[in-house]
Amino acid sequence: MRIRNLIVRYGATTALDIGELTLKRGVCYAVIGANGCGKSTLARCIAGVIKPTSGEVGLQPDDKVRYMPQRSYAFYGSTLSNVMLGVNATAHGKERARMLIDALNLTTVARQGAKQLSGGQTARMALARTLVGQGTWLVLDEPTAALDSGSMLAAEGLIRSYRDEFDAGVILITHSLKQAKRVSDQLVFMENGHVVEQGETKRLIDDPQTPALTRFLELFGA
């Protein structure tokens, strides 16, 4: 995926301004940066939810993006029917939905109304709904922000399996450096709408090249 001169403006504010960013399939990228730096805006552009003011996200014709928004939305109907919205109701699709519901500990609430789920349960349902279908790119906007540690580790395992199973490129937005270390191969650091630094996760955390990332990591005490 090649992102070139991608600019998103809201009135006078520039939410996103990325000169060049190349992402590869089969790699998990953790996108980090302060609140309002443009992470979600980038995710929305990649998913095709918003049209950039200028520039483009260059995808292959056979690319399919699966995207989980920062705020999970529950439709009327059960947890199970919400998850099934993400996939064709084939035997294989149903099987995958059941597997994800079990893995994300939603079995007891599968037949319950999705709108009654707790915040963390709703996020788990939304993650299952995103992971249940096949895609070449997986874009997850803070998928584990509302999750307890057990569910978080389960989610991270499922994200890694998704990458391996479909050779998918994963774009994981997170505020947890520990999570980035556990899950990602590459780190993308953003500030004020720009991608300031990109590189191998462990190397970048140990040896940041820019003052901005150095400062950011210091705040984490990393």
Ligand X SMILES: Nc1ncnc2c1ncn2[C@@H]1O[C@H](COP(=O)(O)OP(=O)(O)OP(=O)(O)O)[C@@H](O)[C@H]1O
Residue 64 binds to other proteins (criterion: CB under 8 A)? yes
Report if residue 155 touches other proteins, rule: CB under 8 A: no
Instruction: State in angstroms the smallest separation of the CB of 65 from other proteins.
Output: 8
- Helix, strand, or coil here: 31? strand
Of the candidate residues 2, 4, 5, 10, the single one contacting ligand X (CB under 6 A): 10
Binding status of residue 47 toward other proteins by CB under 8 A: yes
The string over 70-80, giving b where at least 16 C-beta atoms fall within 10 Å of a residue's C-beta and e elsewhere, is eebebeeebbb
Query: Does 57 sit near ligand X (CB under 6 A)?
Result: no
SS3 for 91? helix
Quick check: 197 and 211 in contact, CB under 8 A? no
For the chain, counts of helices (H) and of strands (E): 8, 9
176 is an interface residue for Mg ion by CB under 5 A: no
- The answer to whether residues 190 and 196 touch, using CB atoms and an 8 Å cutoff, is yes
Question: What's the CA gap between 73 and 11, in Å, rounded?
Answer: 27
* Binding at 47: pick from other proteins, ligand X, Mg ion, none (beta carbon under 5-8 Å per type): other proteins
Contact 15, 54 (CB under 8 A): no
Candidates 37, 101, 123, 213; binder of ligand X (CB under 6 A) is: 37
Q: Which stretch binds ligand X (CB under 6 A): 29-37, 61-69, 73-81, 128-136?
A: 29-37
Structure tokens at 167: 């050779």
- Residue 184 · residue 159 · CB < 8 Å: no
When asked if residue 176 is in the footprint of ligand X (CB under 6 A), the reply is no
Q: Which of 21, 68, 104, 147 binds other proteins (CB under 8 A)?
A: 68
15 binds, among other proteins, Mg ion, ligand X, none (CB under 5 to 8 A by kind): ligand X
With residue 152 as reference, give the H or E element that holds it.
Answer: helix 149-166
Q: Closest CB to Mg ion belongs to which residue?
A: 40
143 binds other proteins (CB under 8 A): no
Q: How far is the CB of 167 from other proteins (least distance, A)?
A: 18
Binding-site member from 6, 33, 40, 52 for Mg ion (CB under 5 A): 40
Distances (CA, A) of 215 to 20, 33, 89, 123, 222: 23, 11, 49, 31, 10
Contacts to ligand X by CB under 6 A: 10, 13, 15, 33, 35-41, 70
